[in-house]
Structure formats: structure tokens, C-alpha cells
Structure 1
Amino acid sequence: METKTQKNPQLDKVRDIIEDIRIAMMTTIDEQGNLVSRPMAAQQMDEDGTIWFFTQRSSPKVDQIDNNQHRVNLAFVSVSDASYVSVSGTADELDDRAKIDELWNPQAKAWFPKGKDDPDLILLKVHTDMAEYWNASDSTMVRFFQQATAAITGNPPKMGENEKVYN
């Protein structure tokens, strides 16, 4: 995913964590009030903390977003790095052919076989209102040792950074 230096410097840490993850679980609320999540390939995090996705205009998530004050959550996970990010924000659909051209890439063709000119292809832009991250700076072996020590001592392990960031 392409990421840009953030206007809000507090979001730079979030950007650093998610730039190599690419796939987010996007959660919306369906017609029955259920939380519904699906994997989405993030295309870009722009300088305003907005995260961009391709989707189909006819997708149920578009109606779910419109029916629930545009509120969504994005979850980014890198198990190997023990890095986790939760982004709360508002999503809007956008039919912007210039932005679609800017973000289009060969991987998108697999999900949108009619190409970037498909009239059903639109963008979802998720404005970050708040992000929370957990990021372990230690290696897997050190984290394992910390967990084992915690199990013996009864003191919870210190597994790295945890911070909430508001945009």
C-alpha cells in the first residue's frame, strides 16, 4: 500500500505500522444491527489519514455504510511483527475516475475483471477519526520469553507500545 507522510504527525506511527500490511478487515453494521467484517485491500493512506479502497457500487457494504452514519472500523494485523491497528472512522463512496486511475494497479484487476472503467467500480475513502495501535518492538523469541515469565510470576508482560491517536 502506498502511504504518505501525515499532516498530523501522531498518525505517522499508524502509517508506519500499516504500510506493509495492506489487507484490513472492514467492519460495518448490517440491516439487523450485526457487525459484519470483510477483508479489503487498502490502496493508499493519504497525508490526511484517509485510507482508500476499491469496491463495487452494488456491494452490500455501500448500503450498510450509508444506513449507519458512514461509521466503519478497520483492523490491520501483522501477526509476525505483533503489530495491530484499529481505525475508527467515517466512510464515503466516491466515483472519482481520476483517483481510480491514480490508484489502479495490476492486483485490482483480479477483483475487478472489467477494469478501471467498470461503471460499478467506485472508491471508498475512510477518514481516520481515531486509531489505536499495539506494536511490539521485540523479536518473537523475546516476546515468547516475556509471556513465559509472566505466566510464572503472575505479572502481565510488557509487550510494546499501545497508544490512541486522534485525527
Structure 2
Amino acid sequence: MDTNHTPMSREETLKTITTLTKGIKFAMLTVVTDSGHLKSHPMTTQDSEFDGDVWFLGGKDTEQVRNMQARPEVNVSYADHGKHNYISIAGTAQMVEDPAKLDELWSDGYKAYFPGGKADPNIQLIKIEAHGAEYWGSDGKLKNLFSQARAAVTGKPATDLGTNETVKL
């Protein structure tokens, strides 16, 4: 991993996270249950610029929304196995009522979950305000395999496995 570099600015970090998450259809949203356990759910991602907030639509009547209302600290993770990019975003969940934001995020695919469309009373906008993120990226599988093989032969740790950044937002 590359650890000798200048930290990125907030704007560079936001742009990098937008680039890494672009095209990833689903994220895993992890909440804390009543019993204190972690529980993850797949959520449909929004194809938009990452500005420090992540938005989802959920059901007001779901365990997931109830858990976030009681314990708002959550984690959102993305994985793009084909490009070898992985992102983890820690943040605070807020339940939001905002018809304009719902209009912006809505797609007809949500009708499978909310038969009443945008007027369905069960729709809950979920805003995750990010306070930190970590991401891992790789230049490619072949390069990683070569670096791992070199480490196995020399007995020295693999040092060129890609990028790893931890950032505060």
C-alpha cells in the first residue's frame, strides 16, 4: 500500500469517492440492532456526486429504519470487484421528509417497494452524513499478483498493492 504521500484536500477526497462509487448499483448499509449486533442490508445507490452525504430510500415500517432512529451511527460500504475498488463510509443517519429531494432521487424501480409511488406514506428518505471514509484501490489484478508473488519469493511484505486512504469528512 502507498503510505508516503500528501493527504488529499476535502474536494479531492469527495471527487475520488464519487469516481470509485460510480456505477456501483448497490451498497451495504450497516446498522446496530436493539441487541447491539451489527446488521447489513443491501440498498440501491443514487447515481450522483458524493458531497459528504449519502441518500437512500427505505420503508418507515422496517427494522432497519427503526434501528437508525434509535442508534443513528451507521456504515455504508461499496465494492467494485471488477475494478478492485472498495469504499467504507462511516456516518450518522437522519430520517428526512423532503418532497423535492424525493423527486430528485425517485425512479420507477422503487415502485416494487412502494406501490403507491412517490405518494406512498411508507417512504422514508435516509440521509447519511459522512464523517469519515476509507477506501482501497488497485491498479489491477496482474500487478497485485506479481507483487504478492515477489513477496512470497523474497520473504518481504508486498508493498505495491494499490492505494489505501483514510479520511475525515
Describe the superposition over 1:9-63 as per-residue Cα deviations: whole angstroms up to 9, x where unpaired: 3221111101221311111110110001111112255563111101011111111
- CA drift of 1:128 comes to 0.9
Q: Secondary structure at the match of 2:78?
A: strand
CA-based RMSD of the aligned residues comes to: 1.9
- Residues 1:23 and 2:26 aligned together: yes
**8 Å contact kept, 1:43–1:54:** no
2:95 alignment counterpart = 93
Moved more, 24-33 or 47-56: 47-56
Q: Secondary structure at the match of 1:16?
A: helix
**8 Å contact kept, 1:96–1:122:** no
- CA drift of 1:151 comes to 2.4
Describe the superposition over 1:42-93 as per-residue Cα deviations: whole angstroms up to 9, x where unpaired: 225556311110101111111111212x100011111111111110000111
Tell me how many residue pairs correspond in the alignment. Answer: 160
1:40 alignment counterpart = 43
Give the Cα–Cα distance (whole angstroms) in 1 for the partners of residues 144 and 109 of structure 2.
34
Structure 1: 5+ residue stretches without partners? 1-5
Q: 1:1-167 residue pairs with structure 2 within 5 A?
A: 8-46=11-49, 48-68=51-71, 70-137=72-139, 139-157=140-158, 158-167=160-169
Give the Cα–Cα distance (whole angstroms) in 1 for the partners of residues 50 and 76 of structure 2.
18
Give the Cα–Cα distance (whole angstroms) in 2 for the partners of residues 22 and 48 of structure 1.
18
- CA drift of 1:107 comes to 2.3
Give the Cα–Cα distance (whole angstroms) in 1 for the partners of residues 138 and 67 of structure 2.
34
2:4 alignment counterpart = none
Q: Tell me the TM-score normalized by structure 1.
A: 0.87
**8 Å contact kept, 1:87–1:130:** yes
Q: Secondary structure at the match of 1:8?
A: helix
Give the Cα–Cα distance (whole angstroms) in 1 for the partners of residues 115 and 145 of structure 2.
44
Give the Cα–Cα distance (whole angstroms) in 2 for the partners of residues 45 and 128 of structure 1.
15
Q: Tell me the TM-score normalized by structure 2.
A: 0.86
**8 Å contact kept, 1:44–1:53:** no
